[in-house]
Amino acid sequence: MKIVCRKKIALGSKKEAIVIPVYKNIENLKALTGKRVEDEIKKILNSDFFYFEDNEIKSFYIEINKKIKKVYLINIPKEPEEYRDYMKLGSKFAEILKKDKIYTFSILSIEDIYNERKDFNYTKSFIEGIYFGLYEFDRYKSKKNEYELEEIEIITNSNKTKKVFDDEMGKLDIIFNNVNMVRDLVNLPHADLTPQIFADFMKQFESDRFKVTIFDFERLKKEGFELIVAVGKGGVNKPCMVKLEYKGNPDSEENIALVGKGVTFDSGGMNLKPTGHIETMKTDMAGAATVFGVIKTLHDLNEKINVYAYIPLVENIISHESYKPGDIIKSKSGKTVEILNTDAEGRLILADALYEATKTDPEVIIDMATLTGACVVALGSYCAGLFSNRKFLAKNISDISYDLCEDIWELPLYEEYKDRIKGDISDLINIAKKRGEAGSIIAALFLQEFVDNYPWIHLDIAGPAYIEEKHPIFGKGATGFGLRLVYNFINRFYVDK
């Protein structure tokens, strides 16, 4: 989708429709619309047609330059509010665009409506909402939705606003192409996204600055990734691990590391999941998809940073080869783990990958995983759990999350619970001795054993990665949650400006 910003007035728009943000008793639209359009709008606003209700969107037709155009009036708060409010409005407007089959439209800059010259995120947030609202996954439907929005033209009368939008809006399409790629991957059924298919998908994006290495089953065994091997060996589709290297700043040795959980289907293994829980387990690779989306976005936007990503890919399936409760497995780090529950598999494959991630001496390690149902119980399906061994990291990423509407909440790495994962006949056990409480904390404490005290963020995205009821911004199904959050976090604090 093309997004452009032009200094002009609505009267000069050549697009199919014009979007005009309004609020009660709004004045001085003429500089953005032209007098004739302003007069028509004022008639509507002063009639019984428009009620100034929250998120109200009404349309009417007007003749402009001998052509009939559709005009949408969108009620916005009189004073600027939170960015998520504009995202919600944009997502709602996307449904109208699809229904009305509008392919191009002009929108008056919300910043101009507010006479705002310092904060330029209101129109951007509205357009982000449109991107989220336009997404559909219809690959398996016999009747496809052929609609595709082609162009958004932002109208402003400010040189500064135009410059900011010219710099920023071009990035949005790249970011959301990758968000939608993540959503597609998470929505795919397991049969069409086995570990090897997923690895081959990532391999096709390899470039001079973006190296993709696939560790196959035999290499994993040879190099001691025994936790990944154990979890994945029961499936017909054997496990692998993908290592991604993006060299955006080749003159520097500094780097960051990303790790994503990639369980392409999770039956629970010998501790089989029941009906009511197993149906959506194709989505247990959302962390892997999101990590790939983040590193690909950094590459596509030519960000000046070096990033390594480690993505273990397995299917946790029952067979005569499957690992079993009571097994003791030696991890890549050398620590041994007794398996008490085969459905606590995500932390096992992450453990090997996290340890490998320490090898490049990263400034920070960030892992993303649909790790625990306990996190959904604690925080619901709209909010992810955040754990970090550095307070400044937790604060920095939390400060970013709210404005992006990618909500996270910090939970403690509670020291007093560490003994609960200590084994009697092994170094560690993969679930707590005391069952039924603090499941997300226990999982995070287990992961912490493998990061060697490197600065580390763990995001448990089990809730928001895939939402079964309709979210006011993301809709239903896979959301792409976390890509924008982690990309913005990296871009703000680690990219060499």
Show which residues are catalytic.
273, 347
Q: Which among 260, 483, 453 is positioned nearest to 364, based on CA atoms?
A: 453
- Torsion of the alpha carbons at 155, 156, 157 and 162, rounded to the nearest 10: -120
Place of tokens 């403690």: 412
Helices 122-134 and 159-187: crossing angle in degrees, nearest 10, is 30
Tokens of 194: 């086995």
Cα(268)–Cα(266) distance, integer angstroms:
5
Place of tokens 């041994």: 336
Place of tokens 């979890």: 231
> What does DSSP say about strands 475-478 and 466-471: parallel, antiparallel, or unpaired?
antiparallel
192 C-beta neighbours (distance < 10 Å), count: 13
Structural contact between residues 400 and 486, judged by C-beta atoms closer than 8 angstroms: no
If you count them, how many residues does the chain have? Answer: 497
Structural contact between residues 291 and 258, judged by C-beta atoms closer than 8 angstroms: yes
Phi and psi at residue 305, to the nearest 5°: -160, 155
Residue type present at position 395: K
- Taken in order 211, 401, 148, 103, the sign of the CA dihedral is negative
